[in-house]
Structures are given as structure tokens and as C-alpha cells.
Chains A and B, each alone.
Chain A
Amino acid sequence: MNYKKEEIKKALTLHQIYTENYKTNLYAVFLATPLKRENVTLDALLTAVLRRGTKNLPTQEQISQKLEMMYGASFDCGVEKTGDNHVMKFYLETLNEEFLPKPEKLLEESLKILLDIVLNPYIENNCFKPEYVEGEKKNLKQIIEAKIDNKNKYAYDRCIEEMFKNKPYGLYKYGYIEDLEKITPEDLYKYYKELIETCKIDLFCSGKINNNIKQIVEQNENIQKLNERTPNYVINNETTEAKEVENTKTVEDSMQVTQGKLVLGLDINDLEENSRFVASVYNAILGGGANSKLFQNVREKQSLAYTANSGYVRTKNVIFIRCGIEIANYQKALDTIKEQLEEMKNGNFTNEEIKNSKELILSSIEGITEEQDTEITYYYGQELADRFINIEEYKNKIKEVSKEQIVNLAKTISINTIYFLKD
């Protein structure tokens, strides 16, 4: 097993993934906190402000220069929704020392910089530097406004928003302009201090890493200063809760587009213990690839769409169908999609289709260990679900899924929201 996790302090966990497949080491810090309307904007802004400077490297320019000297180490950060948690993610990637043109020590330095960015920010007069906060507010405002630029993504986000109206998952991960405008540097710093004392913290190290990482982390000053805590976050419960079945909502928006974007949000109401695995297979048959029902019927047979696929969001147990269609073909495309859902309910799919879909999922599971950030995300997902399944078990669960289970699951599926972006 190349993965191990150890608790450094209560709610502060170190995860190590040993692998020789890369030229790089990847380090990540994740802060998890419940998704709430009053916090999403603060979280997004905070993540951006933290990268502006640390106590030791007070400007972004200094951070960048330091990283460049380390053979172009790269830092990245962002916010993601994972189930009903909002996760602030901070990554640092460096070359593994073995592949440098000249020998140099990079590992300890890397961890120090990353932990400094998250835990030891640049503070002036007991507050974040107002210039950084104001600058990042402007930037975040542009990011929120840019929601409309990518029409595929916009239509998808809008469908999620409508489907989870007034629920945490319906929130936009970057927050809201009306909330943003009110945030002062004082508010943000106060929020930061609370967050850092209460959130769940996970530190990941992946690569050809040595044995003393735990020691390095434990001796890090920032880590030593952290308090023990009972973390405030939402466990992504993998045993499904029943959902209220509502009537299908239809929502349309108009924008300057030549191609219409159709997105359907589907609820799954299957309470069986392994239904998440069944849902993966169901989704792959419905819209997982070039052999799927959607691709074959909406795109290939009827030339109604250039893209037609579906994706399963495991943490919320929902499926989204996404198509790019000619606007005039809306009704025809929607009817064709509904027919495919009926086909699934009636068990009109072959063993061949099941086998192909499982192959598709299995190969993506095998791909998990082939990318450093994917592997980290996989283990972090389990950490938040508080349920550990190793990659072999995961593959077996997929292999065990039967046609009967798929049909039973199909019968519980209902269309929650139909969203259409047109001209």
C-alpha cells in the first residue's frame, strides 16, 4: 500500500502517497468547512488573499521569485464544493530533487512555503493588508461576473443552482457580488482566525518522498501553534437519504448563443447500500462515452447535438445530462433524452452495454494512480466521507453491479430540473 495517513493533531491529518511515477512532488493543504451562503464569498476571497503574501515573503512577487528559483515550483489555490462542504485548496508542485540539473534541497523548503501561505499570512496592524483585500475583491468580482463567458459551464451551474435552490449545494463556489461588496479587511481577518481554529485540515504529500515528512511537519512552527479542535465540517454521508420528489421544474434563460445548451438534473432515490456504485454504471450506460445511449441516439443517429453526455455527482447522488443542440431542436432532443431514460427503466440495454460501461469506469479507476492530483482527490473524498475503500475494492464493487440493480435504480430516477440556455 503506497498510502498512509496519520493524525498529527486532532482534525489535522497528514496523508502520504509514495509513488515513483512522476518527475514532481505534489503537496496540498485542504481546509474544509460547511457550505453556507454567508461564508462562500468569504472563503473564495480568503483563498485569494492568502496567496498574496506571507510573513516571510510579504509580496506575491517575492513568493513567485522564490518559487522560480526552486526550478519553477508552482503554487495554485482555489475553492471547490465537495458535497455540502466548501473546500479551500492550496497546492505546491516542485521537481523531485533527482531531476534537477544540480543537486539542491527542495522538499523541506516546499512544505515550509505552503504552510506559511495558509497558516502564516502577511499581517499589518492585526489585519490583512487592505490593499490585498481590495485588490482581490476586484478580481473576485470579475471572476463572478465571468460566469457567463463559458456557456457550457454557465448552463451547468445554472441547472445546479435551480435544482438545489435554497440548499447548500446550489450555492456558487465563488460567492455573490452583493455579499462581496460588504466585506472589509477586518471582517475577513476575523473570519480567517475563526476558520483556522475550527476547520478540518488535511495535508497531502505525493511523490518519491522520504520517511521523515511526518517529523518535518510536526516540527513546523505553524503546525505547532495550531489548536486541537473538533472540526466543523459535513461528513459526506454515502448511505443515501430519501429525497423529496418534486414536480419537474423547467427553466429557460436567453443569451447571445448560436448553439443551445440543454442541461437536465436527475434525482436518484435508491436507498440500497451500494447504490453509488450502481449509479456509476447506470450513468455510464446512459451518457458515459461514445457508446452511451445519449451519444448514440441524440448525437449519432439524429445529428441533434455535437455533445451529449451525462455525469454522476457522487457526493450528492445526482446525475446531470448535458447537450449542445441547435436551438430549434429543443423539443426533439428533450423527447429523445426522455426516451433514453424510459429505455433504462424498461431494462432495454444489453449485457454488452453493461460490460462496456464497466470497462469505462474500471479504466478510469485505474487511472486514479496515474495523476498526482487525482490520487490526492480520491483519498480526500474518502476522508470527507469517512469511509475507506481501496482501489481494488472499488473495482470489485463496480464489477459486482447487476442488471437487476441498474433497472431498480433506474425506476427511482426522476427529472428534477430541465434547464435550457437559448438565444
Chain B
Amino acid sequence: MKVIESLKIKEKAYVEVLENGLTVIIIPKKNTKKKYIIWGTHFGSIDNRFIMPKTGEEVFIPDGVAHFLEHKMFEQPNGTNSLDTLMALGIDANAYTTNDHTAYLFECTNHFEEGLNELMDYVQHPYFTDENVEKEKGIIGQEINMYDDDPSWKLYINALDCMYKENPIKLDIAGTIESISKITPDVLYKCYNTFYHPSNMTMVVCGDFVPENLLQEIKKRLVNKENQGEIKRIYPPKEEKINKPFASAQMEVSTPIFMIGYKDIENKKEQRVKKHIAIEILLNMIIGKSSSLYAKLYKEGLLLSEPSLDYEFSDEYAHVLISGTSKEPKKIEEGILNAINEMKQNGLNEEHFERIRRKVYGDYAIEYNNVGDIARMFLADSMKSVQSFDYIEQFETVTKEYAEEVLKDIFKEENEVLSIIEPNKN
């Protein structure tokens, strides 16, 4: 297996791409009792139009299929549910769907082998019938209702709607009650056969393991599958502009919540990690805990706690998100725009930059505290063709001058949007 290493945080990752195309990443952690495995496919809510490699058929699927498929994978022909089987072993099992991938995982202290048996069995053996697909529509319908009640979800979707016109990232991951009503076993099988091919999947394991031995255990449990060519995914063309600068809605919240977005229109693929590090440093300099803007807004009672700061990206989308709670979201927006302009004009303060650089280093290093965080990070990064250690190893290459370039490139006023959820007026 290929070994990659981070000397700074003293961790190693063992990587192997198997003959069938499956990528396996093992990160051994001595002395921990917890073991974590996550198996992901590069299939998320944005993949709603594609060409099946075997037949050449172009397929359009209803919104919410990736998530629906995730729910249905646990069900077995003998009537059992793999989630129950795993839980019965004292194993904490779960699955989730994002914009760009679907993942099946479990965490345990004991019974790892039995867990591996079950996980690799159920992910490789789908079982969809008219009856079990119909039944799931009720359960997912409840989940969709739960999202509808969640102001922070609505806030996020509205911010995306501001930034993108056609991009499927703005669709609800679970779909709508209407869209899921169109899902049939046939749709599910088509998606399964296309996206759950080993060449489209990555498995990450973290815990106290001998990597070579574990790799053999994984290989033994793989079902033979014919090789498959590349999956052609069809997305709407890149949009050169934002959709609209502002969105607001009313829901049951006590104080308004806001999300400010900067769409990274160019979304250059080179130096993604380096750019990501620079953006995190910049966001902290603009409105992080020690920034003068945050101190001012806190003093004025406009911010209660630091906003969350995020940069989300894949090949199809990239944007910065700043979100929080405030009585007057527009004043937060104004403060941020001013702070950015000032930083663009005067350049970044040396001392401030160094301080935040150290803080961001600490944030990355802390990710390595927990086997689950490590495994999820390696999987999510690999779905974006990023190698996680790079965040630690490329750290030193992010200079003040580089960060200033990124500031000018990405934080453009014409690419900025604001989404607000206000309390109901009655």
C-alpha cells in the first residue's frame, strides 16, 4: 500500500486502489478503542442527470433519489434491516447523503469484523420492491416535513437560490413529497448499478489496525463486478453571475437569522487546498472572534456569538458562507462589506495574519482527535480529489501576499448575496 505521512501531526495514511477501482484508505490509530469505517459513493443530490456507462442511455431522475436510495439500502430480502443488525451488535451505524456523495458508516469498540460483514453485504446487495419503496415514501415524507420546519435549512436553501439559477445544489437533498412520489424500484436500480460501482467508491477506515491485514479482510468481502467506464454526469452550464442578491422569508424564530454568501464563480481547480486555507484565514480575519468587526457588532448587541464560516466546493459549485443570528442582518452585511473593502485597500495586517494563521493551524490539527472525524474528513476530501494531510502540509505555503490575492479574487461585491429568515409578524 502507498503510505502518505504528516510529520507535523504524526499520522500516516495507507492508500490502495484495487483492481476493480475501489479506493481504500486506512489511517491506523494506536491505543484507541473506537474503530470507524465509512464507505462512500460519489453520488449525491446534484447528480440528477447522467449517461449509464454500460448502455449509453441518458437518465433523468427525480429529486431526492440519492437520499432515498440511502434509506433503502438497509432493507434485506429476509425482512431484516441491516441498521438493526448492526445496532444489535452494539455498533453505532448510520448513513447520510450530501450534495456530492452518499456514505454508509459505523463506529464500534467491539465486533468490528461482524460489522464489516454486514456493511459490505448490505451495500453490495440492494433489494428494492414496489412494496418497500412505497412504504419508505411515508417515512421520508416525515423527514421532509422536519426539514420544512427547520429555519436554518430554509436559510441555506434560500442563500443557494440567490447564488445559483439552475445548479442542482440548490435542490433539497431529500427532494420534495411530490418528487419522491415518482421514485420506483427501476429508478433505484439504475442509479445503484451506475453509481455503486467500486470504481466510483472510496472506503476509509480509522482505528487500531494493521493496514495490510485489514486490506485483505476487505478484499475477501468484495463481490466481483465487471469493470465499468466513466460515468458521464450532465450538469447545467456554469453561471457567470449570481441569480439575485437577496432573499427573505418568515418563520418561527425569535431573532432573525442570516446567511451571507460569496459565489466563487471561477472555481479554479488548481491549488484548491491552498486556496481553501487562505479563505479560512481571511474569514477569521474579517469576522472571527478577535476581529475588530466582531468586537464592534458584539458591543452593539448585533451579534451574540461568532458567525459560522464556511467554504463549500466541488467541481460544479463553490461559495463562501457566513451565517449567524442578529437583530439586524443588513448591518452585519454592511460591516462585512466595509471590512473587506478596507482590507483590500490597506492590505492585511501582518500581526493579525500571523495570529489567525496559527489559529487555523490549530483547527486543522484538532480534526485528528477523533477516529470518526478523521475518517469522514478523508472521505469527504477524497470525493473532491483532495488529500486531507495537505491542509497541514501546505500550511506554510499560504503567505500574506497569497491571501491578499485570494481576497481580491473571491470576495467581490457583485458576487455577494444575503438570505434572511425573520420572525413571523403577527
Docked pose: A20 CA to B31 CA in angstroms: 8
Docked pose: A296 CA to B362 CA in angstroms: 43
> Hey, which chain A residues are within 8 Å of B301, CB to CB?
135, 138-139
Chain A residue nearest to B303 (CB atoms) is: A139
Picked from B90, B254, B424, the residue with its CB within 8 Å of the CB of A256 is: B424
A:271-329 near B, CB below 8 Å: 289-291, 296, 299-300, 303, 305-306, 324, 326
> Hey, which chain B residues are within 8 Å of A143, CB to CB?
304
How many contacts A-B (CB < 8 Å)? 160
> Hey, which chain B residues are within 8 Å of A242, CB to CB?
none
A378 CB to closest chain B CB (Å) equals 15
Tell whether, in the assembled complex, residue A290 and residue B149 are in contact, meaning their CB atoms are under 8 Å apart: no
* 13 A/B residue pairs, CB under 8 Å, sorted by A: A61-B292, A72-B366, A94-B362, A95-B366, A98-B10, A138-B301, A147-B254, A149-B254, A306-B145, A326-B145, A360-B87, A360-B90, A363-B92
Docked pose: A60 CA to B142 CA in angstroms: 43
Tell whether, in the assembled complex, residue A65 and residue B290 are in contact, meaning their CB atoms are under 8 Å apart: yes
Tell whether, in the assembled complex, residue B365 and residue A99 are in contact, meaning their CB atoms are under 8 Å apart: yes
Interface string of A120-146 (1 = CB under 8 A from B): 000000000001000100110011011
B277 CB to closest chain A CB (Å) equals 13
Chain A residue nearest to B355 (CB atoms) is: A68
A93 CB to closest chain B CB (Å) equals 8
Tell whether, in the assembled complex, residue B31 and residue A21 are in contact, meaning their CB atoms are under 8 Å apart: yes
> Hey, which chain B residues are within 8 Å of A145, CB to CB?
254-255
Interface string of B93-127 (1 = CB under 8 A from A): 10000000000000011100000000000000000
A108 within 8 A of B: no
Known: A259-B142, A290-B87, A362-B90. A146 touches B365 (CB 8 A): no
User: Please, how many residues of chain A have a CB less than 8 angstroms from a CB on the other chain?
Assistant: 63
Tell whether, in the assembled complex, residue A359 and residue B89 are in contact, meaning their CB atoms are under 8 Å apart: yes
Tell whether, in the assembled complex, residue B90 and residue A259 are in contact, meaning their CB atoms are under 8 Å apart: no
Tell whether, in the assembled complex, residue A71 and residue B139 are in contact, meaning their CB atoms are under 8 Å apart: no
Tell whether, in the assembled complex, residue A99 and residue B8 are in contact, meaning their CB atoms are under 8 Å apart: yes
Chain B residue nearest to A138 (CB atoms) is: B301
Tell whether, in the assembled complex, residue A363 and residue B255 are in contact, meaning their CB atoms are under 8 Å apart: no
> Hey, which chain A residues are within 8 Å of B356, CB to CB?
68
Binds B, one of A8-16, A158-166, A335-343, A367-375: A367-375
Tell whether, in the assembled complex, residue B290 and residue A151 are in contact, meaning their CB atoms are under 8 Å apart: no
A:383-411 near B, CB below 8 Å: none
Known: A65-B355, A255-B252. A23 touches B90 (CB 8 A): no
B390 within 8 A of A: no
Interface string of B60-99 (1 = CB under 8 A from A): 0000000000000000000001011001111111000000
Picked from A95, A139, A324, the residue with its CB within 8 Å of the CB of B146 is: A324
B32 within 8 A of A: yes
> Hey, which chain B residues are within 8 Å of A291, CB to CB?
84, 87-88
Chain A residue nearest to B86 (CB atoms) is: A290
Picked from A99, A142, A299, the residue with its CB within 8 Å of the CB of B139 is: A299
Tell whether, in the assembled complex, residue B253 and residue A72 are in contact, meaning their CB atoms are under 8 Å apart: no
Tell whether, in the assembled complex, residue B295 and residue A61 are in contact, meaning their CB atoms are under 8 Å apart: yes
Chain A residue nearest to B111 (CB atoms) is: A359
Tell whether, in the assembled complex, residue A356 and residue B87 are in contact, meaning their CB atoms are under 8 Å apart: yes
B49 within 8 A of A: no
User: Please, how many residues of chain B have a CB less than 8 angstroms from a CB on the other chain?
Assistant: 61
A:67-109 near B, CB below 8 Å: 67-73, 93-95, 98-99, 101
Known: A72-B362, A303-B138, A306-B139. A359 touches B145 (CB 8 A): no
B371 CB to closest chain A CB (Å) equals 8
> Hey, which chain B residues are within 8 Å of A146, CB to CB?
253-255, 325
Known: A135-B299, A139-B304. A24 touches B369 (CB 8 A): yes
Tell whether, in the assembled complex, residue A259 and residue B146 are in contact, meaning their CB atoms are under 8 Å apart: yes
Q: Which A positions have Cβ atoms within 8 angstroms of B?
A: 20-24, 59-61, 64-65, 67-73, 93-95, 98-99, 101, 131, 135, 138-139, 142-143, 145-149, 151, 255-259, 289-291, 296, 299-300, 303, 305-306, 324, 326, 352, 356, 359-360, 362-363, 366-367, 369-372
Chain A residue nearest to B295 (CB atoms) is: A61
A115 CB to closest chain B CB (Å) equals 21
Chain B residue nearest to A104 (CB atoms) is: B358
Chain A residue nearest to B33 (CB atoms) is: A366
Tell whether, in the assembled complex, residue A363 and residue B108 are in contact, meaning their CB atoms are under 8 Å apart: yes
B89 CB to closest chain A CB (Å) equals 6
Picked from B9, B135, B292, B355, the residue with its CB within 8 Å of the CB of A99 is: B9
Q: Which B positions have Cβ atoms within 8 angstroms of A?
A: 8-10, 31-34, 81, 83-84, 87-93, 108-110, 135, 138-139, 142-143, 145-146, 148-149, 151, 251-255, 289-290, 292, 295, 298-299, 301, 304, 325, 355-356, 358-363, 365-366, 368-371, 395-396, 424
A421 CB to closest chain B CB (Å) equals 11
A297 CB to closest chain B CB (Å) equals 13
Tell whether, in the assembled complex, residue B34 and residue A71 are in contact, meaning their CB atoms are under 8 Å apart: no
> Hey, which chain A residues are within 8 Å of B299, CB to CB?
131, 135
Docked pose: A54 CA to B91 CA in angstroms: 45
Docked pose: A64 CA to B359 CA in angstroms: 10
Picked from B90, B110, B148, the residue with its CB within 8 Å of the CB of A356 is: B90
> Hey, which chain B residues are within 8 Å of A369, CB to CB?
33
> Hey, which chain B residues are within 8 Å of A303, CB to CB?
135, 138-139, 142
> Hey, which chain A residues are within 8 Å of B149, CB to CB?
151, 257-259
> Hey, which chain B residues are within 8 Å of A61, CB to CB?
290, 292, 295
Tell whether, in the assembled complex, residue B34 and residue A256 are in contact, meaning their CB atoms are under 8 Å apart: no
B251 CB to closest chain A CB (Å) equals 8
Tell whether, in the assembled complex, residue B8 and residue A69 are in contact, meaning their CB atoms are under 8 Å apart: no
A209 CB to closest chain B CB (Å) equals 15
> Hey, which chain A residues are within 8 Å of B83, CB to CB?
290
Docked pose: A250 CA to B101 CA in angstroms: 44
> Hey, which chain B residues are within 8 Å of A305, CB to CB?
142
Chain A residue nearest to B108 (CB atoms) is: A363
> Hey, which chain A residues are within 8 Å of B139, CB to CB?
299, 303, 306
Tell whether, in the assembled complex, residue A148 and residue B34 are in contact, meaning their CB atoms are under 8 Å apart: no
Picked from A22, A142, A306, the residue with its CB within 8 Å of the CB of B254 is: A142
Taking A299-B139, A359-B88 as given, write out 6 further A-B residue pairs in contact, using a Cβ cutoff of 8 Å, ordered by the A residue number: A61-B295, A71-B365, A255-B252, A256-B251, A256-B424, A356-B89
Docked pose: A85 CA to B221 CA in angstroms: 52
Docked pose: A104 CA to B11 CA in angstroms: 21
Closest 9 CB pairs of A and B: A72-B362, A359-B90, A72-B359, A64-B290, A71-B362, A306-B142, A363-B90, A366-B109, A68-B359
B326 CB to closest chain A CB (Å) equals 10
Tell whether, in the assembled complex, residue A22 and residue B298 are in contact, meaning their CB atoms are under 8 Å apart: no
Picked from A67, A135, A306, A359, the residue with its CB within 8 Å of the CB of B143 is: A306
> Hey, which chain B residues are within 8 Å of A20, CB to CB?
31
Docked pose: A123 CA to B298 CA in angstroms: 20
Most buried by A among B143, B356, B358, B365: B358
A352 CB to closest chain B CB (Å) equals 8
Picked from B91, B108, B142, B361, the residue with its CB within 8 Å of the CB of A71 is: B361
Tell whether, in the assembled complex, residue B290 and residue A21 are in contact, meaning their CB atoms are under 8 Å apart: no
Chain A residue nearest to B257 (CB atoms) is: A149
